[in-house]
Structure 1
Amino acid sequence: MNAAVTELFMAVCRAEVMALKPGNVHVHAAGHGMTVEDFLLSAEVAAPEIARAHAPVGQRILRAVQATRAAVGCNTNLGILLLCAPLARAAEMPVERSLRDRVGDVLAALTVNDAEAAFAAIRLASPGGLGQTTEHDVAGPATVTLREAMAAARSRDRIAAQYADGYRDVFDIGVACARSLTDADAVSLAEAVFLDFLTAFPDSHILRKHCEMLAAAVLAEAREVRRQVAESSSAALRREHLFVFDARLKWQGINPGTSADLTVASLFAHLLETREENHTGTRA
């Protein structure tokens, strides 16, 4: 187990649940039948598996989901684990190249065995709205690499798209946002990154569980709320806009979970990069 990577993973998971993320579980309001304690415990038991040194990506995902399921009995973190396992594996590689380049190498090296393990993890987590597909269905055996399977799902799942596109959204949206806020604390970073994702594109968790029309409506509303927040004259008023939006989404049973998962992955990548820069004295 890589102790530093374990601690960074737990740190970003803690920051994410401390952040006011409309529609998502956080310390200000539980929701969707889950509590903050569920997420904190999930992070604690999953972290050693995500950071397990030299373990294949698929095994990291499966073992972390198994640990989570045993601890809390529900799916709190599948998207987080799918996104963070390749980042943790890339962090073990020599730092002569950027973390983003090393993630690309990890994705290119994924195997059918990785897909088989990830499929088992997805079946165990049983995420809402999963349904069935005609190509590379997780209910059946894996016949292609994990990256190929994810590429087939990229149009309907933003997490899958990261595997296909070399974590483009994570680095170009999430990490870029975190880097721009040099004086912000971890919780403020999580809130800013989450809003960037929530207003960038329709959340694919909403798409999967509900419909395209609702996902588009939430995107439009999120952009309006963000405008109101930006124009607010005080921190209290800014948070009031977010609280009202949060309550409305939860009352409707709407959870922009993909935006939250991408937030955790982005903060994880950002902290991994920062750690490497501090050790080498250079910026990747």
Structure 2
Amino acid sequence: MDRETIAAAYRAACHEELRALKPGNVHDFAAGHRMAVSDFETSAVLSAGPLTEPGARVGARVLAAVEATRAAVGQNTNLGILLLCAPLAAAAEAGGDLRGTLTRVLAGLDRADAVDAFAAIRLAAPGGLGTAERHDVVREPQATLLAAMAEAADRDRIACAYVTGFEDLFSTGLPALERARARGLDPAWRPTAVHLAFLAGFPDSHVARRHGPARAEALRLEAARIAGEIDLAARPVEPLLAFDTRLKAEGINPGTSADFTVATLFCARLLAHAA
């Protein structure tokens, strides 16, 4: 797949996610967490080039995209998005069956990828990162990026994606998007369906880092309850905005669920182009 097709798919996925009402995150219906929609719009445009640099390794793509983002908006708006989308972009560039190629891309991650990814994480400085006994990002990595992700997989959903071949995208995100399409949901509400599927399906890693596993699990249960009570076909702005307001008042940002939503939308677009 050519570079501009991949970059356009990435930008479109980022913009589409921002249009959707995703409780706790930044979106067109409400800003939050000292960030505005425009910060994410700018980040999407400026990170697309580095993310799709032909022939670049995954770690290099992530680092260059984080550097471009940080220079423009001065804060972390897209680290998780980039960590998920860089392997997808590399796989799309290589061609062939996207899922099969993605598996090979992940298996080929080496120490150079770890060096660049760790530098990107340090630069982005995501909240609640904490420390680790092994493969701590504050130190120069001695292992491959895949090994480092495997070490963190039990506490970080994005790291888990690296060692499961992005199973969450294929078993949760893409099926939720397909169900939303099959139901005839308005395109603006399909990302909401995907976001709620992730939010209700797994404790959000970002919430767990910032507020603890118990709060992340409570959020998952609340999201599952709300998802079962609303009908997205009816465009339920009021109840979802009320949920959104409660979360933001508590300082809770389910950012990992939003990152997976973007990655799902990006993956879906790549699959459509490859078909």
The verdict on a shared fold, with TM-score over 0.5 as the criterion, is: yes
Per the alignment, residue 26 of structure 1 pairs with 27
C-alpha separation in 2, matches of 1:184 and 1:116: 42
Equivalent residue for 1:244, pick from 242, 245, 268: 242
Q: CA deviation at 1:185?
A: 5.2
Structure 2 Cα separation of the partners of residues 267 and 31 of structure 1: 22
The residue number in structure 2 matching 1:214 is 215
1:31/1:143 CA distance change after superposition, 3 Å:
same
The answer to whether structure 1 residue 113 and structure 2 residue 112 are counterparts is yes
Q: How many residues align?
A: 272
User: In structure 2, what is the Cα distance between the partners aligned to 1:184 and 1:244?
Assistant: 21
Q: Show the 5 A alignment for 1:57-206.
A: 57-95=58-96, 98-180=97-179, 181-182=181-182, 183-184=184-185, 186-206=187-207
* Counterparts of 2:86 and 2:95, CA distance in 1: 17
1:267 is aligned to 2:268: no
- Structure 1 gap ranges (5+): 278-284
**Counterparts of 2:121 and 2:94 in 1: how far apart (Å)?**
27
Greater shift, 218-227 or 103-112, is seen at 218-227
- Which amino acid in structure 2 is aligned with residue 80 of structure 1? I
Question: Aligned equivalents of 2:185 and 2:146: distance in 1?
Answer: 34
Structure-2 separation of matches of 1:189 and 1:220: 21
Q: Give yes or no for contact 1:12–1:186 (8 Å, CA) kept in 2.
A: no
Closer, same or farther in 2 for the Cα pair 1:192/1:137, shift >3 Å?
same
Question: Residues of 2 paired with 1:62 and 1:185: CA distance?
Answer: 35
Q: CA 1:103/1:185 → structure 2, altered by over 3 Å: closer, same or farther?
A: farther
What is the distance in 2 between the residues matched to 1:150 and 1:139?
15
Task: Give the letter for the 2:196 counterpart.
Answer: L
Letter in 2 for 1:78: L
Equivalence for 1:14: 15
For the residues of structure 2 that align with 1:103 and 1:185, how far apart are their CA atoms?
30
For 1:68 and 1:62, the matched residues in 2 are separated by 10
Instruction: Supply the distance in 2 between the matched residues of 1:87 and 1:186 (Cα, whole angstroms).
Output: 23
Distance 2:51 2:95 in 1: 18
- State the secondary structure of the residue aligned to 1:100: helix
Task: Describe the SS at the equivalent of 1:199.
Answer: helix
Shift of 1:7: 0.7
**Runs of 5+ unmatched residues, structure 2:** none
SS of the residue 2:201 aligns to: coil
| Structure 2 SS opposite 1:273 | helix
Cα shift at 1:205: 0.5
For 2:188 and 2:142, the matched residues in 1 are separated by 41
Report the AA paired with residue 98 of structure 2.
L
CA distance in 2, matches of 1:32, 1:169: 26
Corresponding letter in the other structure for 2:263: A
Q: Does the Cα contact within 8 Å between 1:156 and 1:204 map onto a contact in 2? A: yes
**Partner amino acid for 2:261?**
T
| Cα separation, 2, equivalents of 1:186 and 1:57 | 30
The answer on whether the counterparts of 1:228 and 1:241 sit within 8 Å (CA) in structure 2 is: no
The aligned residue for residue 254 of structure 1 is: 252
- Tell me the SS of whatever aligns to 1:130: coil
TM-score under structure 1 normalisation? 0.93
